[in-house]
Amino acid sequence: MIYSAMRFFVSSVFFIILSGIFLQSVVADDDVPRPITHYPERNVAITEKWKEAKDGYSNPRNYTPPVVEGAGKDCVKCHKVLTPVAVKDWEDSKHYENNVGCESCHNDHSNLIMPTPDTCGTCHAAETMQHRAGKHSIAWSVKVASGGKGGGAGRFLAQYEEMREGACGGCHSVEDKCDSC
């Protein structure tokens, strides 16, 4: 009986020592990926907005229109201050070049929506069919079905760099806009 207890004690001590040595070698290893702690300023702002909205602004299921008065043509007046990156992206887009305003895809404030591929398909039928046949459509479906928990900037930027490179970052920088292709 004493021999069994002594054997258990020695085995336990030996296990704890080996575990400590193993854990220290893992923690001390410089090759272990670390979460990114330095983001470009733009990405921090986007991440914070998406964390607040729980991906609401990229997931139509979670989108809640703001309660604001205003006509579609007035969008840029407020959004230059509220979402300057989105306005800049639009100003640099083909939509802007072709006089396609916010209300064309989002409606006006009385019936504001977050566009879906169906919305895009009203003008871009061939591109929408191509999108639905590809891997991006599958990723989008997972994201929408999971309530936005399957992806998004907040989660994306918190990942290890190696993980990001193997996911969307393999082809894209952080993008979640309709004309990024």
Q: Which residues, other chains included, contact 132 with Cβ-Cβ below 8 Å and sequence gap of 6+?
A: 117
pLDDT in tens, 48-100: 555 555 444 555 555 566 666 655 557 888 888 888 888 888 888 899 999 89
Q: Which residue has the tokens 């921090």?
A: 44
Residue 55 falls in which region: left (phi positive, over 0), alpha (psi -120 to 50) or beta = left
pLDDT value at residue 145 = 54
pLDDT value at residue 9 = 75
Type of residue at 105: C
* Mean pLDDT computed over 114-137: 85
| CA count, 13 A, side-chain hemisphere, 89 | 15
- Reading the block at residue 80, the tokens are 């230059």
CA dist 47 and 39 (Å) reads: 10
pLDDT value at residue 134 = 81
pLDDT greater than 80 at residue 102 = yes
CA dist 78 and 83 (Å) reads: 8
DSSP string computed for 27-47:
HH-TTS--B-----HHHHHHH
pLDDT band at 122 (very low <50, low <70, confident <90, very high): very high
pLDDT band at 181 (very low <50, low <70, confident <90, very high): very low
Say which residue, 68 or 131, is predicted with more confidence. 131
pLDDT greater than 60 at residue 23 = no
pLDDT greater than 50 at residue 5 = yes
CA dist 106 and 5 (Å) reads: 72
pLDDT band at 38 (very low <50, low <70, confident <90, very high): low
